[in-house]
Chain A
Amino acid sequence: MAAQTEVKANPNMPNHLETATLDGKNKVLGFWLFLGAETVLFACLFGTYLALRNQTMGGPDGQELFDLKLVAAATAILLTSSLTSVLAMMKMNQLNYKAMQLWLGITVLLGASFLGLEIYEFIHYVHEGHTFMSSAFGSSFYALVGTHGAHVTFGIIWISTLMIQAAKRGITKETAPKLFVSSLYWHFIDVVWVFIFSLVYLLGKVG
């Protein structure tokens, strides 16, 4: 059976391996729809945050807390990881297994360093007295940014899992859609981060 899904570089090769089969088409479309649902999820969290962000109850507010240098570094890292994820998908469609794994690996590493920075940031905030339980501002901040962080964590685990699968099975019509949707997911959490950067950190700095 596996023989049917294997692909070799040849002139008749489909341009997009991820949608070469009906299963692949279903997966990609289904995943786009799932991202639509995720958008609503984050929109609700953003709405909650924007409604509650001034309710600091005497604790430190965003202006005092946020360190734009650190956040800018995290943003740069995460945006770069989107680029490496695109490169990985290009290499996948060129059936260049090694280059694909390399770019995926870099993506995961960048994601992990973003996560490291975020954890460092959170620990710092907790020391400043800004916790999940301290005020409505704290709750809504950690709910929004934390949900994003949880998505990054899940993405790191997911892409690593798929790297193992690709190592075992190679680039096939079955692994390609999986890799492709994981890259869609990765771009999505990047876009969400752009909004968090603007609506949480920049807006927090202007007060």
Chain B
Amino acid sequence: MGTLIVLIVFALFITAILTGGYNKEAIEKFKKSKAWDWLTTVDHKKIGIMYFISGFFFFLIGGIEAIFMRMQLIVPHNDLFVGDTFNQLLTMHGTTMIFLAAMPLLFGLMNAVIPLQIGARDVAFPFLNALGFWLFTAGGLLLNLSWIFGGAPDAGWTSYTTLALNDYSPGPGIDYYVLGLQISGIGTLIGGLNFIVTVINMRAPGMTFLRMPMFTWTSFIASALILFAFPALTVGLLLLMFDRLFGANFFDHAMGGSSVIWEHLFWIFGHPEVYIVILPAFGIMSEVISTFSKKRLFGYTSMVFATVVIGFLGFMVWVHHMFTVGLGPWSNSVFAVATMTIAVPTGIKVFNWLFTMWGGQIRFKTAMLFAVGFIPTFVMGGMTGVMLALPPADFQYQDSYFVVAHFHYVLVGGTVMGIFAGAYYWWPKMFGKMLNETLGKIHFWTFLIGFHLTFFPQHFLGLFGMPRRVFTYQANVGLEQLNMLSTIGTIGMVIGTLAFVFNIVITFKKGAKAPADPWDGRTLEWSISSPAPEYNFAQLPLVRGYDAWFMEKQAGNKEMPAAEPLGSIHMPSPSFIPLLMSIGFFVSGFGFVARGDYSMGILGLIIVFIAMFMRSFDQDHGYHIEPHEIEEANKGVKA
């Protein structure tokens, strides 16, 4: 019945469009509106902002889920969120934070900054970039709609089989997980591919690989990890979908399947994934620490080398998530050694940051505070990481709060602090306004203290035997005080995040207009106005060394030397096809969640294919911005 209605509405739309039986003026008006502009944009700066905003939105949702969990755990035998509800909260908290908050927030910064840092006018594939964003959004929405329609997934963010199979998870929750992540995963893959090609092919004259800013380097390596890690998730989710929806037997022991295959596929993706979210944060820290110490990044080449090595080793260690599966001492030993090896390049990075600050003229702006707070926090997470890398010890730690403490130290202490540092640092370039420093400092201190108060006791909770993912605990076994402390700590993080939200609001209302180069920056993005014009660089810059912009400033130049005469600039046209295609995927995903009747699922795929044909046959050559338009726009801007 539902399908029939959808089909009828669809047919009516088609006839209306073909016969012209609609209000042309209204459509014209809509096409000129700001909403349409944002929905169809292919500009990497706008896409970056949209990534950042939707990522922050999901960050808030994931945060609320976390607070609910901590509220349940504040006292023993609490009955606020028990059983399935708690399982749903913990599953959605993990899934949301990794896939829908950390990644898009980083993608937002990458989109906003990478093309500017390498002196490019655009990314290599503006259309695919928009498609990647809309697919991520469609997948994220689908996943979160599970709260309203049928219940959220509740098998943990790792969604291990056989727990995630029909027998033990009969509701539609895991279906939402499988299809939502599949759709947003395709989007992420496309986004990563776009960045790799952009960095390889679009660099400005003189911007050699070993002159690229550190953030570009780490994002470049992270994109390569995305490219080679996400297909494993694609396959894992595909097989799980087959098992759940179409009666296949990949993971069903009774029919010869093996649940260990899911664990392998998930972690072959899952371990590189943690480097995907930490490497760009490393890059942000490198930029911030170098800028606010007013020094060249110490050991730049070794930083690049360390990044590449971490990326490479990231694929060699996935079994350390599976030490207790029973793959045997040989396999466990090899992966344990590989895991501990990663501490070496990471150590190189930590010491390079410290040596960059050594003897520098340090300014403790908010971004720098986050970077400095990040170093000890992340090192603690790294230390517990090495502890967990020892298989005999891991047998004790596994599935306890010790693990929870470990990965929150690296993910919140690393990625989230990195994102905050990046947000304060690049906000002027993204939005043209300066975030308030006082509120920023409140944000930093409350967040940092709250974070340590929440997660430091969890190390001990784990060592005292509290298992993770369980909704309550016994009284009188020594877990009450630390749990209470841990929950109280979240208040600090909440205040910090609210200060950030408040900061954003008042910055939009009455923030100071940002100058082009507010931090005395070193890289190319600070050589152009804030926010960057839509064509980024009126003339492509000529890069003469590492820290290109700082070099020119040292030489007394007011702007970058140009690599080309002023000429007309080619721009890609906006397109609604990415949005259409993502709607198709969304409809299809929703259709397949509704079991039994797949017509809506197929209808969605038809929309996807129609959109693909439209794109293939589309003959659009974009438009040009002429030099006189640039000059007019620049009048009065140049100081």
Contact = CB atoms under 8 A, between A and B. Distances in A.
Contacts of A133: 246-249
A99 to B, nearest CB: 23
B228 A40 contact: yes
Contacts, number: 112
Dominant secondary structure of chain A at its interface with chain B: helix
B197 interface: yes
A55 interface: yes
B105 interface: no
B359 interface: no
A14 B255 CA distance: 58
Given A139-B242, A161-B616, A52 B265 contact: no
B252 interface: yes
Contacts of A162: 616
B170 interface: no
Contact of B249 (A26, A33, A47, A136): A136
Contacts of B247: 132-133
Given A37-B231, A132-B246, A143 B256 contact: no
B230 interface: yes
Nearest to B257: A136
Contacts of B147: none
A34 B193 contact: yes
A164 to B, nearest CB: 8
B258 interface: yes
B249 A44 contact: no
Interface string A53-92: 0011100000000000000000000000000000000000
B566 interface: no
A55 to B, nearest CB: 3
A36 B228 contact: yes
Given A26-B201, A135-B249, A139-B257, A37 B238 contact: no
Interface residues of B, number: 42
Question: What range describes how many residues of A lie at the interface?
Answer: 35 or more
A29 to B, nearest CB: 5
Contacts of A38: 231
A169 B617 CA distance: 11
Interface in A138-156: 138-140, 143
Contacts of A52: 250, 256-258, 261
Nearest to B193: A33
A28 to B, nearest CB: 10
Contacts of B617: 161, 165
Given A26-B125, A52-B250, A57-B256, A44 B193 contact: no
Interface of A: 1-2, 4, 22, 25-26, 29-30, 33-34, 36-38, 40-41, 44-45, 47-48, 51-52, 55-57, 132-133, 135-140, 143, 161-162, 165, 169, 174, 178
Given A55-B257, A143-B239, 13 more contacts: A1-B621, A30-B124, A34-B193, A48-B261, A51-B258, A52-B261, A132-B248, A136-B250, A136-B252, A138-B249, A143-B238, A143-B248, A161-B617
